[in-house]
């Protein structure tokens, strides 16, 4: 299991979303004049954001992490953290 992300880190991540190209993002493959296929991450208006020689799963992961998606995940997590803890079930003796 990974470490819990601190509230401070979540706030930093939310602040880092300001000014980032909005999503959704998508991946397109581009061969160009190279023998190595490149994958481009673009927004829905087809503006090129990055081009890298990365495996398809990596490019898909990058594209799935658009700012709207990350913002939704973080705000939901923050909302869940603000809920009161559930009472624990009483343990029964056997």
**pLDDT value for 27:** 87
Q: pTM of the entire structure?
A: 0.71
Q: Which of 47, 53, 51, 56 is nearest to 22 (CA)?
A: 47
List of long-range contacts for 49-53, beta carbons under 8 Å, 24+ apart: 49/21, 49/25
67 contact partners, CB below 8 Å, separation of at least 6? 17, 20, 21, 22, 23
Average pLDDT, the chain: 83
**pLDDT value for 40:** 79
pLDDT tens digit sequence for 48-79: 677 677 778 888 888 899 999 999 999 999 99
pLDDT tens digit sequence for 11-52: 999 999 998 888 888 888 777 676 666 777 888 777 667 767
In sign, the C-alpha dihedral spanning 34, 37, 38, 44 is positive
Following CA atoms 72, 77, 83, 86 in sequence, which dihedral angle do they give, to the nearest 10 degrees? 130
């Amino acid at each position: 299991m990974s470490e819990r992300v601190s509230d401070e880190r979540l706030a930093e991540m939310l602040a880092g979303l300001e000014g980032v190209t909005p999503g959704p993002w998508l991946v397109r493959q581009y061969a160009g004049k190279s023998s190595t296929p490149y994958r481009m991450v673009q927004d829905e208006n087809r503006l090129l954001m990055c081009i890298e020689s990365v495996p398809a799963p990596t490019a898909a992961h990058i594209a799935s992490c658009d700012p709207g998606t990350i913002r939704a995940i973080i705000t939901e997590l923050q909302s869940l953290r603000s809920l009161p803890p559930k009472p624990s079930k009483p343990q029964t003796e056997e």
